[in-house]
Structure 1
């Protein structure tokens, strides 16, 4: 009995932690892209349902704990980019194009390999530049609202020390209490608390396709799908990457008209369902991912309440909670960007251009940061010097090459039998 309950409980924890840790990022991103409160609530609900369906299908179909989540870095990208030219309908159009690209990456492996070919330092620097504006919000909140933000940050620090998994949900709980104590009594009056879907007819323009759809696809692939696969491989699984991309891409297409920006493999919470804590038997852990999917879909029913609370809260406080949720991702992205000294300058240029938030010909800084970093790599790439083989100036005038002098095979060279 305990063996059956354990993965179910692990899945419930995965859903709760995943939702509470980053739904504020999603709402901040959707509202920054031009969504109204009703449209943002609809987007959060659509994402929860789409993630839940994809997780349940992938876990049941492949018997692997393939957790699914929304693109948290993608939501941070929306905050950094702001409303595209044309407003919310154009943002929805970009969400659809990003979903199409994810499906295409699942159908055509060369496209997935092309994304993987983007140098990791440049990709990490672009992601770090996208995350930086939100990650500075806790500092700004401490200065602007010290009596409210102080307990939030303090609670996060305390839980981060003793129960890291619950640090962001705990900070969110403190923020909700602070909102309840400081918001006007009529703050929620008239707010739509029941779940509802608001569909938006998509629109497209070139600048949004280049400046929003393409960067959203890239950060979702590089910061969510690829690390999510790595987590599963680290726990001994061999997940079908193409099938996962097709399922999450279709889920993204399903959620986009209702306001959902992107669905992908979970990276941050993937270990909660794939680790031995979910079940000692690796063959039974898929139950945790299916349960997490169901739980996340049910949590989506509270999207209206969550959006109403965010609407009455000081914007900087919500951004502060979102920033706390992204600090770990920022640290990982920065480490990936500056590890290799040979590409460090290109990564720094990518980071600076992306974080600047500049907009040129209607295209945001994330795209230009990627372009600047790749150009730096091309312009300043140095090939390793060619070292000539040593020459043995012997009396007979012959030069001994390394092959001629070697009398035994190297440790990495197979020993050949006579006559081969």
Structure 2
């Protein structure tokens, strides 16, 4: 591989910049969505200790993935936990078998991810899911999270308003740092309200808590299948596309085998799923990381090391989040997901031919309805498929039997 003249001119500065870009990638990936992960795990029955264990396992598995793939392939391969999947968990309900049943569903998701790497037709089947419907399902799930900050600021203005003001100012003047700044404001609020003084740091060292899975078909359908779909369609496939846009050709087989296997194994410690990074991947893969494309792998390695450094903080982060003022963690999660919601909703409703099907999927997924123990995300996708089929029949009927032009008076 050859380096560009620009890279040779400032090799040390550029290498340091690549390291910094990876640190920022890991920092943004963790701080912007850890609240969603904790909230999602607890929503499906995890105790505080199990949620902290899940956060630790996710940091370790995605950190190792970043380091190993970036080092071995000399590409800025970055991984992340499934933020859309965690958001889906927030909208779910505790399975009949408790968190153990959710863990069984997490394992099913991991196995399906790995199978996509082994069985090409299965990967093509996932790719054939209409993008508007997958996006609409995600948007519907995210909607309930994204309204949380605006409900919380009415209920607790003193705690929530400073966070939202900081976020809004940074959106205007330093958008990349908006969520991190909001998190910083939340930390200040927690310090003022005495959250940290009540924590016993000595008893908050991280520990992996083993969860024996139980196999519940309803949980697999309600949690495992939607988790697999949103992880593939909203993270892995776009993640490959982001790397490709910067000239990196990363096959799906190896990343899916790793992320699927690591997700299945990590589920035993409470983690839900990891995948290729999508939006944050550009921080490490773009020219801002290094002028020489062949040296940006350094950013992928430093991103992974940053995730690994966050792992030991899982216990403290979980305890602080549990003691935070009511609505504060939900506010951080909602603000972090607004951009994803906007992009998903736009993709769901962009094509006039499928707009009504997307709208049906979105509203059903957002409704929170549960039928036979299966949550709204699955029923939203199913309703969208039925609506899409009805629209196709209507178009064919209109083509075969065109309406005569209206008579002019």
Do both proteins adopt the same fold according to a TM-score greater than 0.5, normalized to the shorter chain? yes
Partner of 1:416: none
- Counting only pairs closer than 5 Å after superposition, residues 195-210 of structure 1 correspond to structure 2 as 195-210=206-221
Structure 2 unaligned spans of 5+: 1-11, 402-409
From 231, 240, 251, give the equivalent of 1:229: 240
- The equivalent residue for 1:143 is 154
Residue pair 1:74, 1:220 contacting (<8 A) in 2 also: yes
Counterpart of 1:385 (choices 399, 405, 408) is 399
Match of 2:9 in 1: none
1:167 aligns to what?
178
Hey, what does 1:390 align to over in structure 2? none
Alignment check: 8 A CA contact 2:103 2:213 kept: yes
For the Cα contact (< 8 Å) 1:192–1:308, is it kept in 2?
no
TM-score (structure 2 length as normaliser) = 0.92
Which residue in 2 is equivalent to 1:91?
102
Q: Please tell me whether the aligned partners of residues 50 and 254 of structure 1 are also in contact (alpha carbons under 8 angstroms).
A: no
Please point out which of 255, 259, 268 is paired with 2:266.
255
* Deviation digits for residues 273-311 of structure 1 (CA, Å, limit 9, x no counterpart): 000011001111111111101110111111111111101
Distance 2:128 2:23 in 1: 36
1:157-196 map, 5 Å? 157-183=168-194, 187-189=198-200, 192-196=203-207
Q: Describe the superposition over 1:369-393 as per-residue Cα deviations: whole angstroms up to 9, x where unpaired.
A: 0100001111221248379xxxxxx
CA distance in 1: counterparts of 2:27 and 2:349, whole angstroms: 33
Q: 1:36 aligns with which of 47, 56, 59?
A: 47
- Given that 1:244 and 1:265 are in contact with CA atoms closer than 8 Å, whether structure 2 keeps it comes out as yes
Match of 2:223 in 1: 212
* Aligned residue runs from structure 1 range 239-278, under 5 A: 239-278=250-289
Deviation of 1:183 after TM superposition, in Å, equals: 3.5
Are positions 1:362 and 2:373 aligned together?
yes
TM superposition shift of 1:191: 8.0
Answering whether residue 165 of structure 2 is matched by residue 154 of structure 1, we say yes
Does residue 309 in structure 1 map to residue 320 in structure 2?
Answer: yes
Say yes or no: does 1:329 pair with 2:340: yes
Q: Deviations over 1:84-135 (max 9, x none)?
A: 1211101111111100000000111111111111111111100001111110
Q: 1:14 to 1:99 in 2, by over 3 A?
A: same
Q: How many residues align?
A: 388
Shift of 1:21: 0.8
Q: SS where residue 183 of structure 1 aligns?
A: coil
Alignment counterpart, residue 302 of structure 2, candidates 274, 291, 313? 291
The Cα RMSD (Å) is 1.6
Flag the 1:340–1:154 CA change in 2: closer, same or farther, 3 A.
same
For 1:147 and 1:123, the matched residues in 2 are separated by 37
In 2, the alpha carbon distance for the partners of 1:215 and 1:192 equals 36
User: Where in structure 2 are the equivalents of 1:8-47 lying within 5 Å?
Assistant: 8-47=19-58
Q: Which residue of 2 aligns with 1:399?
A: none
Counterpart Cα distance in 1 of 2:231 and 2:312 = 25
Q: CA deviation at 1:185?
A: 7.2
Cα 1:186–1:161, aligned 2, differ >3 Å: closer, same or farther?
A: closer
Q: Which has the larger radius of gyration?
A: 1
Secondary structure (helix, strand or coil) at the match of 1:385 reads: helix
**Partner residue of 1:408?**
none
Check conservation: 2:116, 2:256, Cα contact below 8 A: yes
Asked if structure 2 preserves the Cα contact closer than 8 Å seen for 1:142 and 1:150, the reply is yes
Give the TM-score, by structure 1 length: 0.90
Give every structure 1 segment of 4 or more consecutive aligned residues whose post-TM-superposition deviation is greater than 4 Å. none
* Distance in 2 (alpha carbons) for counterparts of 1:362 and 1:184: 37
Tell me the CA shift for residue 61 of structure 1.
2.1
Residue matched to 2:407 = none
CA 1:366 to 1:191, structure 2 compared with 1: closer, same or farther past 3 Å? Answer: farther
Residues 231 and 24 of structure 1: CA distance in aligned 2, closer, same or farther (over 3 Å)? same
Distance across 1 between alignment mates of 2:196 and 2:36: 26
Deviation string, structure 1 residues 237-256 (Cα, Å, up to 9, x no partner): 11112211111112212311
SS, match of residue 69 in structure 1: strand
Cα-to-partner distance string for 1:168-195 (whole Å, 9 max, x where unaligned): 1110111111011113676324884211
